[in-house]
Amino acid sequence: MQPHALSHLPQLFSAMSLLKMMHRCLQYFLGSAIACVCLSACTFVKLNEDAKVFYSSTVFVGSVSSDVPWDKPVVVAAYSKHDGRLEIAHYTVLHEPGAYELIVPKGQYGIFAFGDANGNLRLDTGEPVGQYASSVEAIGTGVVAELNFVISPVAQAVATAVPAGTVIAEPPINGKLHSTQIGAIAELDLPVFSAEFGKSGYWAPVDFFKKAGGNIYFLEKYDPAKIPVLFVHGVAGSPQDWKYFIEHLDRNRYQPWLFYYPSGASLDSMSYLLYWKLTNLQRRYHFDRIYFTAHSMGGMVVRSFLSNYGAEFPVARLFVSLSTPWGGDTMADSGVRYSPVIVPSWNDMQSTGRFVQTLFEKPLPPELDYYLFFGHGGSYSLLHSANTDGSITLASELRADAQADARMVKGFNESHVSILSSPEVFRQYTAVLATADKKYASRSAGKGDSGNLSIAFTYEVKGNIPKSDPLLLLTPVDGSREKILLPMSAHDSGVALGPIPPGEYTASVVAYGFATVPAKTPVLISNGKKAELKFSFVPQGVLSAYIGAEIKPGDNPAGSYREPHQHIQIESITLTGEKESRTLTASDEIRERDLGVDAYLAGRDYSFQSSFSFVGLKEGQYELRVKARGYQPYRQTYHIIPGQYAYLKPIDLTPLKN
């Protein structure tokens, strides 16, 4: 079982010399036992280096598809070249074509992938291969998205940059490649899923991410007849923490999914990773319901995901948190204040830090039910003067904001760790699941049998242009309900989607980098029937970007999404190509973000606050110029390819000197 890893920190780091602290035996709780970890000077150096790398790296995310059937592993790698020699910055393995994530230090990179037919991590002759269309800049923070490309048995563009025979790494001794692709089947007895390896994700999150990635794992093949229950571990945790819950879960009704991530990383980053993973899972399987169960810090990751991205996941119906430090942890405050080495997640766990202070600013989705479970069975600790569950103070577990959101607040005479293996806790948890099942079934029955929708679509593309995944938007004509958003896969043409509440809708499908024909069409969803629509996607050049919010050091670490600037006054945005020039001014600004989809579908350029988009561009070089009050003019050159959605990253403007 996982400990609460922050509880080993002495409160008086400043009173110790670094030399003494390096050899100090740091204690943390493992249930009723106490483990002793001796950190050497080399360990502190490694921790310090890993933290520095985390705050100076960028995460690349995208999707690899294949133009031929391929059900074997796919290797994706970011590389640079020095003196003609190819150097791999990071690679990951997928068990099939799909979404990937790479973490790299600041610099310029190429990204390629190949089908690894024999699992030897070597590009052999005849294996399908492909490369992202252009080099990608890692600015040393945040995330760069939409880096999509295709692998093919014939890919001349890669042949010169990455020749056959290129070795990515030595294959594993046991011959099993670890997949970071969503839905990979986890064998929980493997070392990578062990409690010991989970702890390494706390002390060295970058090293963990490079070795194991961050992923949502299955324990069995996806079953559309079973409800997904996503389990999220906490500090220094691993999927094995959920052994008791998994063993006692009704596996005929529910399918357990496990979010495994480096718990030492920033919580903003892990929240975005969860969003990215679930989006791709929804595109793949179109599940109509999901329940979330999270322990300790994992509850904060889930809450951040739901409040920031929950509007895109109407299928999220239930959230149960166990022993979550909603008010932060004073041990994290002490660690940040006094420790010579700071684990990135400590910054977010501080009771006075930005993450904790803003965690409840955005509400949970209205259709989601939240239950707060907490423990109060902790023994006395020298590190806490207040009542605790052995690690977390009750005041933090019972933060007023969290209680206000909860349908039920339930306490148990359990410690921070034993709450995960308590029969009493699980009995109450089972009752909560049954309540959610009944409520959902009742609502579905109230809406009638519902209907389904089948969308046939074609991409009018030539060559190896990646087909961006569409997003279906259904807008009720009478305005009685919210819009329905359904992520789709490029392979979903003709697949039945639903169930969808009966009614009249206006249907639109957005595929970035493509114009949709027709842009909109009416559709009637009837009980027990399947409606059918047809669309075609025509490649068009697109350039979308936004002015990034001004941030302090550490506010936008690797893998985290950077918010747009909220208060900037843009005077003009001009895009100039060889044969055309376009300018956006205040008159082109839309009133609401949702109207951006309408503008995109209509082929109109638009801006919204600090975001903007140019559509319908021809292939070629373009210069972007941005003028904003109080900032120096910005200029940047882009090469636009129709059908190739230019990767999106925030624009940094330099303030004028007073």
Backbone angles phi, psi at 414, to 5 degrees: -135, 155
Q: Running DSSP on this structure, what letter comes out for residue 106?
A: S
Q: Is residue 199 part of a domain?
A: no
Residue 160: left (phi > 0), alpha (psi -120 to 50), or beta? Answer: alpha
Quickly list DSSP for 13-60: GGGS-HHHHHTSEEEEEETTEEEEEE--HHHHHHHHHHHHHHTTEEEE
For residue 229, the surrounding DSSP H or E stretch is strand 227-232
- Do both 518 and 549 map to the same domain? no
Question: What does the block give as tokens for 493?
Answer: 């043409």
Is the Cβ–Cβ distance between 151 and 73 less than 8 Å? no
Q: What is the pTM of this model?
A: 0.88
The predicted-structure confidence for 180-217, as pLDDT tens digits, reads as follows: 999 999 999 999 999 999 999 999 999 999 999 999 99
pLDDT of residue 596: 83
- Do both 547 and 643 map to the same domain? yes
Q: Is residue 96 part of a domain?
A: yes
Q: Which of 110, 129, 161 is the last residue of a domain?
A: 161
pLDDT of residue 41: 57
pLDDT of residue 11: 33
Q: Is residue 32 part of a domain?
A: no
pLDDT of residue 411: 96
Question: What does the block give as tokens for 500?
Answer: 């969808």
Q: Which CATH number goes with the domain that contains 153?
A: 2.60.40.1120
User: In terms of DSSP H, where are the helices of 359-416?
Assistant: 394-397, 400-405
| Window from 280-294, 396-410, 433-447 with minimum mean pLDDT | 433-447
Q: Is residue 239 part of a domain?
A: no
Is 166 strand, coil or helix?
coil
Q: Is residue 298 part of a domain?
A: no
Cβ-proximal residues to 568 (8 Å cutoff; 6+ apart), any chain:
547, 609, 610, 628, 629, 631, 653
- Do both 62 and 145 map to the same domain? yes
Q: Using CA atoms, how far apart are residues 180 and 594, in angstroms rounded to an integer?
A: 33
- Do both 557 and 513 map to the same domain? no
pLDDT of residue 284: 92
Q: Using CA atoms, how far apart are residues 626 and 634, in angstroms rounded to an integer?
A: 5
Question: What does the block give as tokens for 71?
Answer: 């059900």
Q: Is residue 291 part of a domain?
A: no
Most confident of 375-384, 534-543, 554-563: 534-543
The predicted-structure confidence for 244-285, as pLDDT tens digits, reads as follows: 999 999 999 999 999 999 999 999 999 999 999 999 999 999
Question: What does the block give as tokens for 214?
Answer: 């961050």
Q: Using CA atoms, how far apart are residues 224 and 439, in angstroms rounded to an integer?
A: 19
| pLDDT of 646 over the 70 cut | no
- Do both 84 and 156 map to the same domain? yes
User: In terms of DSSP H, where are the helices of 179-233?
Assistant: 195-203, 205-212
User: In terms of DSSP H, where are the helices of 406-544?
Assistant: 423-446
The total number of residues written for the chain in this structure: 658
In this structure, how many other beta carbons lie within 10 angstroms of the beta carbon of residue 165?
A: 9
The predicted-structure confidence for 298-355, as pLDDT tens digits, reads as follows: 999 999 999 999 988 889 999 999 999 999 988 888 888 888 788 899 999 999 999 9
Q: Which of 103, 126, 161 is the last residue of a domain?
A: 161
Backbone angles phi, psi at 37, to 5 degrees: -120, 120
Average pLDDT, the chain: 87
In this predicted model, which residue has the larger pLDDT, 160 or 318?
Answer: 318
pLDDT of residue 31: 30
pLDDT of residue 22: 33
Q: Using CA atoms, how far apart are residues 373 and 394, in angstroms rounded to an integer?
A: 11
- Do both 520 and 570 map to the same domain? no
Question: What does the block give as tokens for 523?
Answer: 């559709």
Is 377 strand, coil or helix?
coil
Domain tally for the chain?
3
Is the Cβ–Cβ distance between 457 and 535 less than 8 Å? yes
- Residue whose entry in the numeric block shows the structure tokens 């910054």: 347
- Do both 60 and 156 map to the same domain? yes
pLDDT of residue 650: 86
Q: Among residues of the chain, what percentage have pLDDT more than 70?
A: 89
Is the Cβ–Cβ distance between 164 and 198 less than 8 Å? no
Q: Is residue 85 part of a domain?
A: yes
Q: Is residue 368 part of a domain?
A: no
Q: Using CA atoms, how far apart are residues 106 and 228, in angstroms rounded to an integer?
A: 38
In this predicted model, which residue has the larger pLDDT, 339 or 79?
Answer: 79
- Do both 551 and 638 map to the same domain? yes
pLDDT of residue 3: 41
The predicted-structure confidence for 21-54, as pLDDT tens digits, reads as follows: 333 333 333 232 223 334 455 666 677 788 888 8
Q: Using CA atoms, how far apart are residues 531 and 456, in angstroms rounded to an integer?
A: 11
- Do both 647 and 565 map to the same domain? yes
pLDDT of residue 230: 98
pLDDT of residue 595: 79
- Do both 513 and 554 map to the same domain? no
The predicted-structure confidence for 501-533, as pLDDT tens digits, reads as follows: 888 999 999 998 999 999 999 999 988 788 999
pLDDT of residue 390: 87
Mean pLDDT, to the nearest integer, of 593-604? 85
- Do both 154 and 59 map to the same domain? yes
- Do both 59 and 101 map to the same domain? yes
Residue 83: left (phi > 0), alpha (psi -120 to 50), or beta? Answer: left
Q: Which CATH number goes with the domain that contains 547?
A: 2.60.40
In this predicted model, which residue has the larger pLDDT, 16 or 319?
Answer: 319
Q: Which of 161, 180, 202 is the last residue of a domain?
A: 161
Q: Which CATH number goes with the domain that contains 524?
A: 2.60.40.10
**Domain that includes residue 560, residue range:** 542-651
